[in-house]
Amino acid sequence: MSMRGTLRAMPTLLRVGVSEAVAYRAEMFIWVLSTTMPFISMALWTAVARYAPVGRYTSADFVRYFLAAFVVRQMTGAWAAWMINYEVRQGTLAMRLLRPISPLWAYAAENLGAMPLRLVVVTPVAIAAVYLQGWSSVPQTVWGWAFFLVALFGGWLITFLVNVALGTLSLYMESSTKLMDVWFALFYVFSGYLYPVELFPPALKGLVDWLPFRYQVGLPVELMTNKHDFWTALTLLGAQWLWVGLLLLVSVVLWKRGLKRFAAFGG
Amino acid sequence: MISVRDLRKHYQVHKRPPGLMAAFRSLIHRTYTTVKAVDGISFEIKPGERVGFLGPNGAGKTTTLKVLSGLLHPSGGEVMVDDHVPRHREDAFLKKIMLVMGQKQQLLWDLPPSETFELNRAIYDVSRAQFKQTLDELVTLLDLGDLIGKPARQLSLGERMKCELAAALIHRPKVLFLDEPTIGLDVSMQVTMRTFIKSYNERHGATLILTSHYMDDVAALCPRVIVIDKGQLSYDGGLDALVQRVRPEKRVVLRLEQAVDVARLAALGKVVTHDNATAVLQVPQEAVNTTVSRALSTLPVQDLTVENAPLEEVMSELFAETKARRETVSA
């Protein structure tokens, strides 16, 4: 479908995505419960920083950081890899491929459709962060808000595109969900989800800057909690969007090549 | 409209014997065999034709439909559908066709069918006015009234299938591929579906290819049939001509006023079935007139009809014939 046609169809796709998210609300709230790890990390790290800061993080900074990590994780979640795996194995991807719009747009709309419901969960947490820790829990400048929102969208795009790329590998191998498990193992270590990445030793932190994980969660959290000046933030945003571009290329190439191998199993 | 030349679709399939050791061995050494799902078939279909695509399970029917609808890339040969190469999956092509699979659904499972209809309207870029007109027509003809507001998961199989068909037709496809659309439906729902499909073809001049294991579907909808078996074409022509070729004999069905001895029936022709009230005789076509007049004059006949052999029998005889021919060739 042309880009104009896709953009015209997108509001309906998003509206249907929201309706589906509402239909699956119980499942979503259970998923939210499984993403409360930042609260556990918050308890641990605030205890560690009770008597002296860790790096430049005080107890209050850790509270701000992990409340922001919870918010960002909710707003950057995607599950397209599991959908693609399921639909390739069952052959139901065929029904999507018959439509004159790339299934990738449909997956994106379905994933984004969950955001309004997630906002219902994260808004009270963000308000609580401001109430408990003051306005430094959220960006304090116009550019800070703009950079944070761009980083949040970039973080979601990286998560979604990784899902697409790894999910698409199910067209090449029998199932690729285990690869997502490997990705998650690395994500927990390098993304800043369980601890701020600046607490890594300098050599390791250099490596983290070159990997995509930090740009999924760490960067939006750092921007939400005002950890960077304008130019550092801009540089990091540039790196994040380079990853977005690279992953977009990889996932689209894998997808297009993979479709030639699609066997449309089952019936 | 549809042109298929020497179409081939071959798969590499991993094969291993059962058992744990075989499973471990397959980690190191995997054996593949080539399955020829479709092996060099050719045919042409004109605009507006209704064609039955028949064959036993595993014959290659669904694979062919998937190639024609652009889902599968052929291993060889040429396929054109309304001047498009299906595997290129151009938007213009996808807007002209639809594949309805009785065993797959496009309805959003937890939402009412009306949501899927609206989604398809947006995706196929159908104007609001045309959408309303089409939907009103579909709701009336398929009696969808109350159904389109209930979540799809709460609909019965028949209700869901009617909604599936409606969702598939929102963009008024010119070419409709139907893969066992009546599978699992009760008899009255099958009739509803057939009547609707035929009227869609007549009203919109749509080209239609149908696969079904229900011969009533084929008899009601398809003047022409293409039969494939093991990926190869074994018949392409009129349905009546197929019956004439495979089973030239006719069936004389007698409703009797009283029981008749089987020996008296056997004198008229081959007795296919027989009980106190009915008898079915099989006779050569040229002997039909004689048999009918003899039956009327010598037996207590209440009612008499002359029919072709049931299509199911014709098909199974054709498949057996094809299999025997294949075995002879390979021997």
**pLDDT tens-digit map of A198-242:** 999 988 888 999 999 999 999 999 999 999 999 999 999 999 999
Contacts with A258 from chain B: Cβ below 8 Å: none
Which strands sit side by side in the sheet containing B2-15, from one edge to the other? B31-45, B2-15, B76-81
Q: Between B71, B105, B115, which is nearest A97 by CB?
A: B71
Asked if A267 lies within 8 A of B62 by C-beta distance, the reply is yes
pLDDT tens by residue, A2-56: 788 888 889 999 999 999 888 888 888 888 888 889 999 999 999 999 888 998 8
Contacts with B70 from chain A: Cβ below 8 Å: 97-98
Tell me what pLDDT residue B177 has.
94
Q: How far apart (Å, rounded) are the C-alpha atoms in residues A167 and A161?
A: 9
Which residue, A60, A65, A78, is CA-closest to A38? A65
Asked if A264 lies within 8 A of B89 by C-beta distance, the reply is no
Contacts with A13 from chain B: Cβ below 8 Å: 119, 122-123
pLDDT above 70 (res A265): no
By the 8 A CB rule, do A126 and A216 touch? no
Chain A stretch 80-119, residues whose beta carbon is closer than 8 A to a beta carbon of chain B: 91-92, 94-95, 97-101
- Number of neighbouring beta carbons within 10 Å of residue B298: 12
Q: Choose from A15, A28, A83, A95 for mutation: most chain B CBs within 10 A.
A: A95
Q: Choose from A3, A25, A96, A99 for mutation: most chain B CBs within 10 A.
A: A99
Q: Between A98, A100, A262, which is nearest B69 by CB?
A: A98
Bridge-partner residues for B279, per DSSP? B254, B274
Contacts with B108 from chain A: Cβ below 8 Å: 16, 20
Q: Which residue has the higher pLDDT, A133 or A150?
A: A150
Helices A142-168, A80-90: axis angle to 10 degrees equals 20
Tell me what pLDDT residue A267 has.
47
Q: Which residue has the higher pLDDT, B194 or A149?
A: A149
Contacts with A8 from chain B: Cβ below 8 Å: 122, 125
Element (H, E) at A5: helix A3-23
Interface pTM (ipTM) of the complex? 0.81
CB pairs under 8 A between A and B: 83
- Number of neighbouring beta carbons within 10 Å of residue A232: 11
Q: How far apart (Å, rounded) are the C-alpha atoms in residues A210 and A122?
A: 29
Tell me what pLDDT residue B266 has.
86
Bridge-partner residues for B45, per DSSP? B2
Q: How many domains does chain A have?
A: 1
Q: How far is CA B314 from CA B214, B232, B254, in A?
A: 13, 18, 21
Report percent pLDDT > 90 for chain A. 71
Which residue, B303, B210, B212, is CA-closest to B256? B303
Q: Between A5, A13, A97, which is nearest B119 by CB?
A: A13
Q: Choose from A24, A88, A98 for mutation: most chain B CBs within 10 A.
A: A98
Contacts with B175 from chain A: Cβ below 8 Å: none
A5 contact B CB<8A = yes
Residue A193 belongs to domain spanning: 3-264
Contacts with B101 from chain A: Cβ below 8 Å: 94-95, 267
Token digits of residue A244: 């977005």
A9 contact B CB<8A = yes
A6 contact B CB<8A = no
Sign, Cα dihedral of B101, B44, B319, B232: negative
Bridge-partner residues for B78, per DSSP? B5
The whole-model pTM stands at 0.84
pLDDT tens string, chain B, 331 residues long: the values are 899 999 999 888 777 778 888 777 777 777 788 888 899 999 999 999 999 998 888 888 889 999 999 999 999 999 999 999 999 999 999 999 999 888 788 889 889 999 999 999 999 999 999 999 999 888 888 888 888 889 999 998 888 888 998 999 999 999 999 998 888 878 888 888 888 899 889 988 999 999 988 888 888 889 999 999 888 898 899 988 888 888 788 888 989 888 888 888 888 888 888 888 898 988 888 888 888 898 888 888 889 998 887 778 888 888 888 778 777 877 7
Q: How far apart (Å, rounded) are the C-alpha atoms in residues A111 and A113?
A: 5
Q: How far apart (Å, rounded) are the C-alpha atoms in residues B249 and A69?
A: 79
Q: Which residue has the higher pLDDT, B185 or A177?
A: A177
pLDDT above 70 (res A264): no
